[in-house]
Amino acid sequence: MLNLQQLLISTRNLEFFTSSYRHLIQILPAAVVAPMYFAGKIEFGVITQSVSAFNHILGDFSLIVYEFQAISAFSAVIERLGEFDDVLDYTSSNDPLEPFDEIQLTYSNVKDSPFLLSKTPSGAHKLLEIESLSVQTPTNKALLIRDLSLTVCNNEHLLVTGPSGTGKTSLLRAIAGLWRAGRGKITFYAKHTLDVTAPNESSKTVDIHNDDKRSKYRDFKGVFFLPQRPYMVLGTLRQQLLYPTWPSAQDSAPRSSISNGLLPFFEDAPRPEVVSAPFLPPNTNDLIKALEDVCLGYLVSRFSGLDTINEWSSVLSLGEQQRLAFARLLLSRPDLVLLDESTSALDEANEAHLYEKVNAAGITYISIGHRTSLGKFHKKALQITPIHLESKQPNWSIKESPVFNS
């Protein structure tokens, strides 16, 4: 802002200077040229040319003076913007997490580290560990969750509760690697392989810090994110079911018998690799079974099979879209799923049915939901309360939830 004031003062000085110069330049032709004319040294035409030249110069130098009002208005706008910027700077410098850090996301492959598989007395193994995690919004860096530490073991389903706007969805976004504003560490212990290491990197623990690795983490099949309104891809019902795990496997039905080398009569045979390694595209029977598991078997006859193209977000109700998303989940079989009000459009019976299916599939879930009926499907509940910036206390608590009895 100092520079702006200096500019203003300089402009005022310039106005004074230009005004004086204009008077001088008007007098100059008469003072210099007139005696020469009377002495017969120059002709009258030269006087006219001189006056014209002086006026031209005068016009150029007067531009700043004529535009002075516009420059003043411009400077006032800049000044107001500067004050606004100062206020923003002041707000963020009051932030308790200054200087800004990043949430550290770490992937640890337990496949070759058996000691990690028997960490707890119950024999369960760690799936997710959150250490001193503080979550901020990405734009204005408002603090939402302070110093959260917790561990989630396999089948230790966690319910996240709290008033609207406290940061439940933001927490899931941070776990999914979508948000990085804040500080702390999130470690995911996975059995599935994740190729984020360079060929010459031998470490089994990978800090997913750069964007490339981060996007691979997001694509990683070990963690699945189900939002309240699932994304419906343009295409066939088959493509809906294969998304996002096998995004280009449109060909799974015909391919299952031909392009992968299997003869047609092998098509119906169980394929153990689909259960143990869900990275191969499921066949038509797998897809129909998944639809039946989520009570959407009727879609196959309604839409004449799996291969007609529709605007699925228009022809399916939100509840049906949510069930379709669960069918994707059951086909994909990740280690961990983040359910962000993923059953909000369903009746309680359908909701219970889906949770039973996911639990039976051995998928651990962390869910957000407002219905009290959800409690019985989870073993722990994480309660988030509104943050008070003046208090340094954590704004969360964990309690045991009624054990899910499947």
Ligand X SMILES: Nc1ncnc2c1ncn2[C@@H]1O[C@H](COP(=O)(O)OP(=O)(O)OP(=O)(O)O)[C@@H](O)[C@H]1O
Chain residues binding ligand X by CB under 6 A are 137-139, 144, 162, 164-170
Say if residues 342 and 160 touch (Cβ distance below 8 Å). no
Q: Which is nearer to ligand X, 318 or 361 (CB)?
A: 318
Q: State yes or no: cis peptide before 99, omega within 30 of 0.
A: yes
**Three-class DSSP category at 231:** coil
Q: How far is the CB of 342 from ligand X (least distance, A)?
A: 12
Amino acid at 131: E
Q: Which is nearer to ligand X, 96 or 254 (CB)?
A: 96
Distance CA 343, CA 21 (A): 79
Q: Which is nearer to ligand X, 169 or 401 (CB)?
A: 169
CA atoms within 13 A on the CB side of 389: 10
DSSP string, 244-295: TTSTT-TTHHHHHHTTTS--GGGTTS--HHHHH-TTSPP-HHHHHHHHHHTT
Q: How far is the CB of 327 from ligand X (least distance, A)?
A: 24
Q: Which is nearer to ligand X, 159 or 331 (CB)?
A: 159
Distance CA 364, CA 353 (A): 16
Q: Which is nearer to ligand X, 179 or 312 (CB)?
A: 179
**Three-class DSSP category at 120:** coil
Q: How far is the CB of 175 from ligand X (least distance, A)?
A: 12
CA dihedral over 163, 344, 177, 105, signed as positive or negative: positive
Alpha carbon 336 to its chain's center: 19
Q: Which residues is 384 bridged to in the sheet? A: 396
Q: How far is the CB of 143 from ligand X (least distance, A)?
A: 10
Q: Which is nearer to ligand X, 161 or 252 (CB)?
A: 161
Q: Which is nearer to ligand X, 179 or 188 (CB)?
A: 179
Q: How far is the CB of 383 from ligand X (least distance, A)?
A: 11
Tokens of residue 156, six digits: 């230790």
Residue length of the chain:
406
Q: How far is the CB of 396 from ligand X (least distance, A)?
A: 12
Amino acid at 87: V
Q: How far is the CB of 362 from ligand X (least distance, A)?
A: 27
* Other beta carbons within 10 Å of 374: 23
Q: How far is the CB of 358 from ligand X (least distance, A)?
A: 21
Q: Which is nearer to ligand X, 144 or 288 (CB)?
A: 144
Q: How far is the CB of 160 from ligand X (least distance, A)?
A: 8
Q: Which is nearer to ligand X, 252 or 367 (CB)?
A: 367
Distance CA 158, CA 337 (A): 11
Distance CA 245, CA 239 (A): 10
